[in-house]
Each structure stands twice: as C-alpha cells, then as structure tokens.
Chain A
C-alpha cells in the first residue's frame, strides 16, 4: 500500500500543478480570489510531493523488494543509512527528490513572496507549475519510482559501492536543493518578464533564493570535490570531469547572478542582463542534470546513464529554456535601463565581475561540450583535459581574485576617493608572499606562485570593507561578503600549495619495505584480509613517521559482492600542515603490493576555503532574512538600506 499511496499522491500533485498553471492565465487577467487560490494550491502540491517522497523513503527503509526500484538498488545486507540514502542514489528516486524540492520551494514562494506585486508572484507561480509539470510527466510516464515487481524477489541487487559512502547521503540532495533554488530565480525572472515588472523589488524577492541556492551549490561542490579526492584514490581534488563541470557551471552563473542582482536591487539597473543570468543559471542546472543522466559524455559519474531518459530531459530543457529565451527576446526591449554607470563605481566593478565570471563559464562550457561538437562535425574523438582548463580558467580566476579585493571598496554611483591607497597593506602581503615563494623554491611554476601572491593579498584585502567602519555595527551581509572573499583567498592558497609542494611516491613494496614521501618515511608493516557487512578487503598496515613517533594508516582495497566491484579506500591522515594520503593497489604475484603515497602540504585549505565561502553566504542570507522578518515592524525612515 505504501508504494500505491506514494503514486497516488504524485498523480494528485501533478493534477494540482496543471490547475496551478491554468489559473495563472486567469489570475494574470483578473481576480484576487484566483491568485489566492493559486497560493493554496501551490502549498498543497508541495505537501503532496513530500508525502510521495516520504513513501519512497519508507519502502527503501523497509527493504520492500516488491518495488522494482528497491530491488534494483538496495540489498537487505546494506547498513540502514545506505538503505535510506539508496532512495535517491538512483535515477527515479533522485528525480522524485528533485521534484519534491521543486514543489516545496513553490509552496514557500506562495507562503513568503510579498515583495513583488501580486501579478508577478502569480506569473512566477505559474512558471514554477509549468516547470514541475514536465518533471511530473517524466516521473509518471518514463520513470515511475513506485513500479511493482510480481512475484517479489528474495533480495535486491545492491548499490554501486562507490556510492556507499556518507558523502553520497548528502552530496546529491545538497546540489539538488541548489539547482531548485535557481529554478525559483528562473520562475521569478520569467514571471517578471511576462508582467514587465523587472525592478528592485523583484531583485530583493529573488535574492534570498539565489543566495540560498548558491550556498548549497558551494557546499555541494566542495563536498563533491572531497568525495572524489578520498574515494577515487587518485589524490586529486578536481579533475575537470564533465559531471564536475556540470556542477561548476550553475555555480559560476549563480555567482554572477548573486552579484548582478545587487545592482538591480540597489540601482534598478542591469535589468535585461540579470534576467538573462537567472535563465542561464537554471539552464545550466538542467544541462548538468542532463549530462549526468544521459551519459552523453563519459565520466567517472557514469553510474546514472540512460539515453532514453536523456532524450526526455533534453526535450524539457529545450522547451523551458527555449521558451524563456523567446520571452526574453520579445520582452527585453521593453525593459528601461537606468542612467549609464560612472566608470569608477561599484556598479561597473560588478559588471567586470560578471564579465569575467561569464567568460570562465563560457570556457568551461565550451571545454565540456567541445568533444561532442568535434565528433559531430569531423568524427574525430578527443577529450579536453585539465591542461586546457587550468591554462585558460586559471589566469582568469586569478585576475578575478585580484579584483575581488578592490570591488567592495568602491562606492555606489561614483567613487571620488583614492581607493587604491587602502590597498597598500594587502599589496604588501602579496609581495611578501611572492618573495617567500622565490626564496623557498625558485623553480616554482607560475600559476602556484601567483596563487600564493594573490591569495595573501586577498586574505588581507577581503577584510578592508569592515576596517572602514565600526565592524560591530556593519551589517551581517558585509561580514558575510568579507568572509566569503576571504574563503576564496584560503582556497587559492590551498590549491597553490597542493600544486607546488605535493610529493608523490608510487612503488611496489613488500612487507618490511620503507618508502619515503616528502618528510615522511612509511613502512609497509603488514597486509591482512578483513571483511565488512557486504564486502571483503585486503588491508595494509602502514607505519609512518617524520622524526619522532609513528602513526598507523590502514588503506584498503575492497571487493563488494553485490554487484561485484572493486574499490580502493584510501587512508588519509590530516595534520595542521598537510595530509598524508595512502592507497594500496594490486599484488604483483611475488608478495609485493602496489602503494601510492602522497604528502600534500596545506591541501585541506582548499575545502576549508570552500566551507568559508559557504559560511559567508549563510551569514549574508541570515542578515537578509533578519531584515525580511523585522522589516514590517521597523519605522519607515529606517528602511533606507545600505547595500554591502
């Protein structure tokens, strides 16, 4: 019954979404009643999808093998947490999760949107309903998560062991929440293009959604990068893999949107551009979902592929994005842009920020899809690798990081003060870092060297906006911005340290052999078999020491039985000044084992930086929501916002 309840809730919700879309057409012409009804419908639709998703969680938790999806993706021997996570560790379940988040976000728009005019909110809710309808059709007609098997099999087929990891339990939901947050921005943009009310009120209504989505995407990318780092056992934190790029592209667009939306909110300018970015940011999330689900580009994430579903997603993408682009082309001329900007002003700074981010986005997009186009035209197979992305995106990112230190110091409208004077101290930091890199390692490559320089400069410059005023009275959003910009500096330093100072040791070793990597000497003490709930493994015992005291690491090479798969579980030990990363590989037949060891100084700064960026975003969001809640109680004179 549980599965049937879920399916029924899904059908009902789909019906309500259709009604919600039809009411939009009515609601735009007339009737406050119709618009109120729409809000209620959106809320009920959100609740129904939540029920459907809860039912799916329940059949997975109970290992109900009569449900085809559970049979294919779960196994009674699995630990409970992975049984539940299995609900979204597969195509159907993850699409249901996508849709649930979408509908719940719609419900929150219906509950909370009071900043935009009623007409724009109505249009946005209609757009949200139309978006949801496509995914309802997708689920109900092409990938029903609740389909039954008769007779019910004895036990399930398991889950890709690579995904049997705490990281998986939270990585996709985080990214999906981010993607869907962007769908709200998309719906608001479409709604505002329909009604023609693209103004600062719209920007303020959109901003918390964009900010929230951006925080989650930042977290999702950071967590995903760490997952790939320790689970795949290659010792790298970013591979420019198509699916990694698929999550990076919406983030780049959202970052640009996050900045341009401030111009719209504060100055009522960049109207068409901001609307375009809102459409592109969500398109990129759909492109991302499509690339992952269709398996059109080979990647380490190719566990989720199916060409037919790819076709369906592509059709949705074409319809939604195409419609939004057409709407944009028709309505853009009607948008009145404000006065042109002064050359030296916060506005132009943000325009430069947007330009660079867009170019990086273009670089990643072209690099990701280029192999496809080349094969379509010439039939030649090729892949675009890290050297291209590093060489093109790296310098652009560094340039952007330099400007990040300057932008927040420049005033809105027109800057008359000599801003560059304030940058003396940060510049000194940068020059000192540069000097240290030259003394330490004169042969360092140019990108890591610049990374250290710009990182040190930006670490100091990011806090200047707080130094110019009483830091305690500065708005939370300003603190958030400073922290996020500081996070960029931290991540930059981590990447530079990893590129410049990592030492690598690949060797075949017998028990008793001692290998050196960086300052460490590592002895392979023993190799023993071990077993877990649904796997067996060989486990190496490594004793590592640098000077005094030894630590023990136990990397494993695991063999899962259902389905038969081999994974390497790296053993990583974190110290304040770096990570020791160890992997055990195959045996050579004469009692020796393949070992891979890395010493990666300060590599953790990369993810610490990512986390700081997200925390900065969260502070800013908190500040904005605080105002949203307290605004109605404040006096009118106080409403004059100072934009950070």
Chain B
C-alpha cells in the first residue's frame, strides 16, 4: 500500500474537520435567498387543467411585459385568502399566471368559482416537477418575472394585502 493511499483517509478527515469548524464558527444566515433571482425561468411546458383556461409554458412569460407567477392549489388553505389579494393586483392591471400543484380539474373549478379567478393562464403541475425546478418548496409562492422571462423576485408564503405596494414596485422595477 503506497504512502499516499495510507494517509488519504487522514487528509480527507482533516479537510472535513476544517469545513465543519468553519461552519460552526460562522453563524448561519437562516434567511433563504432565492438563487433564481436574476436567472431565467427554467424551461417548462405545463398542460391546461381547465377547458376555459389556456395552458402555461415558460415561453408565455417572455412576452415583453412583467408577469406575476403564482404557485397555488385548491387544497391549499392560505391560498384562499391570497386569491383575494391577487384579485386586487389583477384590478391594477397585473397579469397573473397560475401553476396549480397536484390539483384536479373539478376541485380547481370549484375553488375558482368560490373564491374568484385572477389568473390569465393556469398550468397543471401534477407531480410538482416545475415547482421543484423553480426552487419552490410549498404553496403558495409567487415569482415576479420580467418581460425577458428572468426571475426578479420570489415571495415565499402568501402575498398579503400589506404586500401589494411592494409587489407593485417589484413589477415596476422589472419593466
């Protein structure tokens, strides 16, 4: 057994210890910043879920104007309150696109008729694939995407009424 092989485990251990010590020494920043901000939306092409709603693909987002992409589901309770805020944003001229996570057409139609429908398009992400590629870990989440299809901002959790001015300014900056 050569000297290099014999000492390899030791060297590896030292490297790991150094990394762990570094990690223990630097206090962790527990805020998660979206790594997608400033990057183009990953390519996707989601099928329609409702007959009266067009499907959603990443190409639809690069249309020249900023969009708000909302990740939601009919089974998501916070989404119910969020929809009302989205209606308000829609009233201010914001184009809102929806990605429905693990949803069913009948449930979704019911959800929209009961709570209102702010969406221009809705894509069906039945296995959460696009949600994962967008770096979203729950519902609801929203993304401000500029006219070139680049993510400008990620909102984790519901957009509340008090967030409206902030979302509008993010959309304005993305213009």
- A positions within 8 Å CB-CB of B: 272, 276, 279-280, 283, 290, 294, 296, 307, 310-311, 314, 317-318, 321-322, 325-326, 328-329, 332-333, 369, 372-373, 375-376, 380-382, 385, 387, 504, 506-508, 585-590, 594-596
Contacts and interface: CB of A to CB of B under 8 A. Distances in A.
Contact of A372 (B7, B20, B33, B74): B20
B23 A322 contact: no
Given A311-B21, A329-B10, A508-B80, 12 more contacts: A314-B17, A318-B13, A325-B13, A333-B6, A369-B16, A376-B22, A380-B35, A506-B73, A507-B107, A508-B111, A589-B80, A590-B80
A373 B10 contact: no
Interface in B139-164: none
Contacts of B14: 322
29 contacts: A283-B13, A296-B23, A296-B24, A310-B24, A311-B24, A317-B17, A318-B13, A318-B17, A325-B10, A326-B10, A329-B10, A332-B6, A372-B19, A372-B20, A373-B19, A376-B19, A381-B32, A381-B35, A382-B35, A387-B132, A504-B102, A506-B102, A507-B75, A507-B104, A508-B75, A508-B107, A585-B77, A587-B77, A594-B76
Contacts of A328: 6, 9
Nearest to A385: B132
Given A329-B6, A585-B77, A272 B20 contact: no
Contacts, number: 88
Interface string B9-48: 1100110110111111000010011010000000000000
A38 B132 CA distance: 58
B19 A586 contact: no
Contacts of A280: 9
B138 to A, nearest CB: 12
Contacts of A311: 21, 24
Nearest to A506: B75
Interface in B70-126: 73-78, 80-81, 102-104, 107, 111
Contacts of B103: 506
Contacts of B16: 369
A518 to B, nearest CB: 14
Contacts of A381: 29, 32-33, 35
Contacts of A376: 19, 22-23
Nearest to B12: A325
B1 A332 contact: yes
Most buried by A among B6, B7, B103: B6
A275 to B, nearest CB: 11
A311 B16 CA distance: 14
Given A325-B10, A332-B1, A507 B74 contact: yes
Contacts of A294: 24
B9 A276 contact: yes
A508 B112 CA distance: 13
Interface residues of B, number: 34
A508 B77 contact: yes
Contacts of B102: 504, 506
A381 B135 CA distance: 12
Interface of B: 1, 3, 6-7, 9-10, 13-14, 16-17, 19-24, 29, 32-33, 35, 73-78, 80-81, 102-104, 107, 111, 132
A375 B35 CA distance: 13
Nearest to B2: A333
Contact of A594 (B33, B35, B77): B77
Contact of A369 (B19, B78, B111): B19
Nearest to B32: A381
A314 B6 contact: no
A594 B7 contact: no
A307 B24 contact: yes
A314 B24 contact: yes
Contacts of B77: 508, 585-588, 594
Contacts of B33: 381
A369 B16 CA distance: 9
Nearest to B114: A590
A579 to B, nearest CB: 19
A272 B1 contact: yes
Contacts of A321: 13
Contacts of B17: 314, 317-318, 322
B15 to A, nearest CB: 9
B10 A314 contact: no
A594 B75 contact: yes
Contacts of B10: 322, 325-326, 329
Contact of B9 (A325, A333, A506): A325
A475 to B, nearest CB: 34
B32 A314 contact: no
Most buried by B among A272, A311, A318, A382: A318
